[in-house]
Chain A
Amino acid sequence: MKAGYKVVALASAILVVAFGLLYSGRSVSAASTLQIAGSVKLDGTAPHQKPIDMSKEPSCAAVHKDKPVTTEGVVAGANGGLENVVVYITQGLTGNEPVSTQPVEINQKGCQYLPHVVAVDAGQHIKIMNSDQTSHNIYVQSTKNPAWNKSQPPGAAPLDVTWNNEEIGIPVKCNVHPWMHAYVVVVKGPYGVSDDSGSFKLDNVAPGTYTLTAWHETYGTQTQTVTVAAGKPAAVSFTFKAK
């Protein structure tokens, strides 16, 4: 019986070591492709965003009757963060970054596009879904990619679409509900979109020096260079001045 304890102890010891090795191995592999993390700040107070009256579409108005939604031209997040800023790399890429295979989703819910701004790799798939009881039309006013305009009745299968050329800030709108707007940013290489606290991160960045560009639908673009050294994630921060 005692031998049994020994066996268990030994086995567990081996397991611990094994897990330890595995873990260290993962951290090593992580070190080889770093990430750029950072945050976007809004300097000043965001302009007044008008509330949206959806009374035209009762089913959607019902969804928001507690807190009316507003326009999303400038969405200021917690502690001065600026939401919906797309950060991507404009210089320094090797050109053979892998296209993310994970499809991005845009949901039409309560007569809003969720999310309001999406970024994708050129060629990455986007799933456009309609969770409303009304039919929307999706008008993609792209210029470097073929523009299209198509209705999606309630309960229709999601649309699976891709954009093959880089294009920044493709306006997407629904004519049936003129207040519905979204933007698609098509880039090559890593990208990040700032969340409600203004923070973002770009994954799988090889060490090197890059020019980062931050794009916002209202405030336009900013660029800065950042160097990603092996071993530690680079931190950057953008600041947009409220106009």
Chain B
Amino acid sequence: MPGKVFAVVVAIITLVIAYCVIAHVWWMPVDVSVHGPKIDHQIEETLFGAGILFIAGQLVLASFAFLYGDSKGARKMKAFPGGAKSLIVFACVVVGVEILVLSFVGSKAWASVYFTPPDPDSLRVDVQAGQFAFYFRYPGPDGKFGPLHPELINETTQNYFGLDPEHDADAKDDIVTAGLAIPVNKPVLLTLHSKDMGHSFDVRELRIQQDFVPGIVIPIHFTANQTGKFEIVCTQLCGLGHYNMKAYLEVMSQADYDNWLKQQAAMQ
């Protein structure tokens, strides 16, 4: 009896979960990056492959629990005819194939994000993460970033990067902003700095998540192909304000972007 109940419960649970996934009750947000579809495809493929294994596993378990309750000796016990060898072979083959497929396709998706060199004329933006906000730096008309002087970082004067406009020519026209705005369909190259803790740059819609590691500069590049306003959140525990460490990414038309940059430059 308990076996049959167990079988039914497991079956119901399995079906409910399968439904939730197939019906997209919870699902990924819209994808606005060029490389994103590859990752989505990878996730869906994994959902499919692993989902099959999941359903098969649960149902096998359920059916055995359903069928082989204690017969008090009425039914003579029999060993699994396939024996261990068949199980091992099955595991190695099926899982092995799954692994090969996933890592093959998966590595393509991964490579497309991390192994393609950034477009040489991509827009460069410097990102500074700190407890608990992101700040962004545009090179300004000269297209050059001023050097950073950590000892000059001072939040009371809004010098979040540690720039020294008095002495560094390149730093004079650097534009520091609290939000990230980029033109649509333009390759973007971000260089991630952290001034204190480990942080992370996570934009769900871009399908990008990359940690900041203090002490090293990490470049990431992407191209957004839809305009809109999206959230940049920190996903690496960085302290008490971690939950509220965020900024907004605005993908705009080139014209809007130019205006925006002018306004920001005026605000320096």
A–B direct touch, CB within 8 Å, in complex? yes
Choose one: B156, B177, B240, B241; the contact of A53 (CB below 8 Å): B177
- In the complex, whether A222 has a CB less than 8 A from a CB of chain B is no
Complex contact B268–A50 (CB within 8 A) = yes
CA distance A149 to B239 in the complex (A): 12
Choose one: A68, A135, A175, A217; the contact of B131 (CB below 8 Å): A175
Complex contact A53–B179 (CB within 8 A) = yes
For B267, the chain A residues whose CB sits under 8 A away are 50-51, 53, 68
Complex contact B241–A176 (CB within 8 A) = yes
- In the complex, whether B116 has a CB less than 8 A from a CB of chain A is no
From residue B221, how far is it (CB to closest CB) to chain A in Å?
A: 24
Query: A-facing mask of B146-161, CB < 8 A → 1, else 0?
Result: 0000000001111010
- In the complex, whether B246 has a CB less than 8 A from a CB of chain A is yes
Query: A-facing mask of B119-131, CB < 8 A → 1, else 0?
Result: 0000000000011
For B130, the chain A residues whose CB sits under 8 A away are 178
Which of B133, B177, B239, B246 has most chain A Cβ within 10 Å? Answer: B133
For A51, the chain B residues whose CB sits under 8 A away are 267
CA distance A224 to B177 in the complex (A): 43
Choose one: B158, B179, B244, B248; the contact of A71 (CB below 8 Å): B158
Identity of the chain B residue whose Cβ is nearest the Cβ of A47 in the assembled complex: B157
- In the complex, whether A56 has a CB less than 8 A from a CB of chain B is yes
CA distance A56 to B134 in the complex (A): 9
For B179, the chain A residues whose CB sits under 8 A away are 53, 55-56
Interface positions of A from 112 to 136, Cβ below 8 Å from B: 134-135
Choose one: B134, B244, B268; the contact of A134 (CB below 8 Å): B244
Identity of the chain B residue whose Cβ is nearest the Cβ of A68 in the assembled complex: B267
CA distance A50 to B264 in the complex (A): 11
Complex contact B247–A71 (CB within 8 A) = no
Indicate whether A55 sits within 8 Å of B247 (C-beta atoms), given known contacts A71-B158, A175-B240, A179-B155. yes
For A134, the chain B residues whose CB sits under 8 A away are 244
Choose one: A149, A176, A217; the contact of B132 (CB below 8 Å): A176
- In the complex, whether B178 has a CB less than 8 A from a CB of chain A is yes
From residue B132, how far is it (CB to closest CB) to chain A in Å?
A: 5
For A176, the chain B residues whose CB sits under 8 A away are 132, 240-241, 244-245
Complex contact A178–B155 (CB within 8 A) = yes
CA distance A55 to B246 in the complex (A): 10
For A68, the chain B residues whose CB sits under 8 A away are 267
Complex contact B240–A151 (CB within 8 A) = yes
Query: A-facing mask of B80-123, CB < 8 A → 1, else 0?
Result: 00000000000000000000000000000000000000000000
Complex contact B132–A178 (CB within 8 A) = yes
From residue A30, how far is it (CB to closest CB) to chain B in Å?
A: 40
CA distance A51 to B178 in the complex (A): 11
For A55, the chain B residues whose CB sits under 8 A away are 178-179, 247-248
Identity of the chain A residue whose Cβ is nearest the Cβ of B248 in the assembled complex: A55
Identity of the chain A residue whose Cβ is nearest the Cβ of B134 in the assembled complex: A56
Interface positions of B from 248 to 268, Cβ below 8 Å from A: 248, 267-268
Complex contact B131–A178 (CB within 8 A) = yes
- In the complex, whether A173 has a CB less than 8 A from a CB of chain B is yes
For B177, the chain A residues whose CB sits under 8 A away are 53
CA distance A68 to B267 in the complex (A): 10
Choose one: B157, B244, B247, B268; the contact of A73 (CB below 8 Å): B157
- In the complex, whether A52 has a CB less than 8 A from a CB of chain B is yes
Complex contact B156–A73 (CB within 8 A) = yes
CA distance A53 to B268 in the complex (A): 11
CA distance A57 to B156 in the complex (A): 18
CA distance A149 to B248 in the complex (A): 27
From residue A163, how far is it (CB to closest CB) to chain B in Å?
A: 21
For B131, the chain A residues whose CB sits under 8 A away are 175, 178
For A178, the chain B residues whose CB sits under 8 A away are 130-133, 155, 160
- In the complex, whether A137 has a CB less than 8 A from a CB of chain B is yes
CA distance A50 to B267 in the complex (A): 7
For B248, the chain A residues whose CB sits under 8 A away are 55-56
Other than the known A56-B179, A135-B244, A179-B158, what 4 A-B pairs have Cβ atoms closer than 8 Å?
A51-B267, A73-B157, A176-B132, A178-B132
Between-chain CB contacts (< 8 Å), 9 pairs: A53-B177, A55-B247, A56-B134, A56-B178, A56-B179, A176-B244, A178-B131, A179-B158, A181-B156
